[in-house]
Amino acid sequence: MSKPDTAAVADAARAGQHNLLLRVAAALVLVPLALGAAYAGGVFWTVLVTVVAAGLYLEWLMVVGEGRAVSVGTAGALAIAVAGICCAFGLVDFAVVVLGLGLLLVTALAAGRRAWVATGFVYASAAELASVLVRFDAAHGWQALVLVFLVVWASDIGGYVAGRGIGGPKLAPRISPNKTWAGAIGGFAASLVVSAGWSLADAGGLVAMVVVAAVLSVVSQLGDLLESAVKRRFGVKDSSHIIPGHGGLLDRLDGYVAAIVFAAIVGLLRGGLDGVGRGLLVW
């Protein structure tokens, strides 16, 4: 190896270490914030979810090249904010109506790429409603929400460690060239371990928790690939740089959005509007 090659490898290694430190530092701030708001529930959780959902929508507009459409961004963010206020007062049905009207409005205001604008609004709105609905269950909402957190985080961390440590064949090179089968399997295995541990905290039955976690891990990783496909479609590397070492909200929460929406749908179908958490955990 020549000296320039050696220097390039050393620079890449230092950059990787710096990025890892940034990721860890960001996680030390964001994880307690998310868990604290989720535990408090009510207005605290709803406010956090609403702010994040608005951010997801605005980042999506930037990714698809509509970030300068001020009216589209303002109308969508405002609809998400009003829906959040409705959710804070327990008026979920009104929130759905507001978001439906918001979808019609942003689609009408969009001068170009209306389908992409509408998709971004639905994506952010679904994340907002699903997050609120899962926590809305007073008896099981906290446990269900933490299960989703743990599965998504374990899938991400396990995938990162296994992918970097083992490497090997690429999972979907045309969509995300850095993801490997080893990373996908490592993330999946890690999610099973943490879900089994969470079941010991009397959050749910062991078998049920592991099975739910297995499905959520797959959904989470598919959500990650979906967001990567959208960015590749528009030639974007990071949705933004708002989170040091992680990129943007879309980059950080793609797996969570997919997992929480799926969890909310399952819980809603099995437990009803007031028992989404129970529907997810109790089998």
Q: What's the chain's Rg over C-alpha atoms? A: 19
Strands (E), 159-270: 170-172, 176-180
Distance of alpha carbon 152 from alpha carbon 254, whole angstroms: 10
Residue 174 inside a domain? The answer is yes
Please report whether residue 259 resides in a domain. yes
- Whether the CB-CB separation of 251 and 227 falls below 8 Å is answered with yes
Do 158 and 268 lie in one domain? The reply is yes
- The reply to whether 231 falls in a domain is yes
The residues with which 170 forms a beta bridge, in sequence order, are: 180
* pLDDT of 20 above 80: no
Judged against a pLDDT cut of 50, whether residue 26 lies above it is answered with: yes
Residues of the chain by 3-state class (helix, strand, coil), percent to 5:
80, 5, 15
Q: Report the number of distinct structural domains present in the chain.
A: 2
Q: What is the pLDDT of residue 270?
A: 95
Claim to verify: residue 151 and residue 266 sit in the same structural domain: yes
Looking at the structure, do residues 142 and 243 belong to the same domain, yes or no?
A: yes
CA distance 127 to 11: 38
In this prediction the pTM is 0.90
- At a CB cut-off of 8 Å and minimum separation 6, what does 137 contact? 144, 267, 271, 274, 275, 276, 277, 278
pLDDT at position 45 over 90: yes
- Does 104 share its domain with 148? no
Considering the domain boundaries, does residue 101 fall inside one? yes
Q: Does 24 map to a domain?
A: no
- 173 lies in the same domain as 96: no
- Structural domain span for residue 49: 41-136
Amino acid identity, position 209: M
**Residue 18 resides in a domain:** no
Question: 210 near 199, Cβ under 8 Å?
Answer: yes
The alpha carbon of residue 126 and the mean position of all alpha carbons in its chain are separated, in whole angstroms, by: 11
Q: What is the tens place of the pLDDT at every residue in 203-247? A: 668 888 899 999 999 999 999 999 999 999 998 887 777 766 557
Same domain? 146 vs 247: yes
Please tell me whether residues 235 and 147 are part of one structural domain: yes
Query: Would the pLDDT of 71 be above 90?
Result: yes
Which of 113, 136, 159 lies at the terminal end of a domain, its last residue?
Answer: 136
State whether 127 and 143 are in the same domain.
no
Q: What is the pLDDT of residues 127-145, one digit of tens each?
A: 999 999 999 999 999 999 9
Q: Which residue did the predictor score with more confidence, 251 or 98?
A: 98
- Domain presence at residue 20: no
Higher pLDDT, 3 or 113: 113
> What tokens appear for 112 in the block?
């170009």
**Domain membership flag for residue 124:** yes
Instruction: Answer yes or no: do 163 and 80 share one domain.
Output: no
Q: What burial letters (b/e) apply to 225-260, b meaning 16+ CB within 10 Å?
A: bbbbebbeeeebeebbeebebbbbbbbbbbbbbbbb
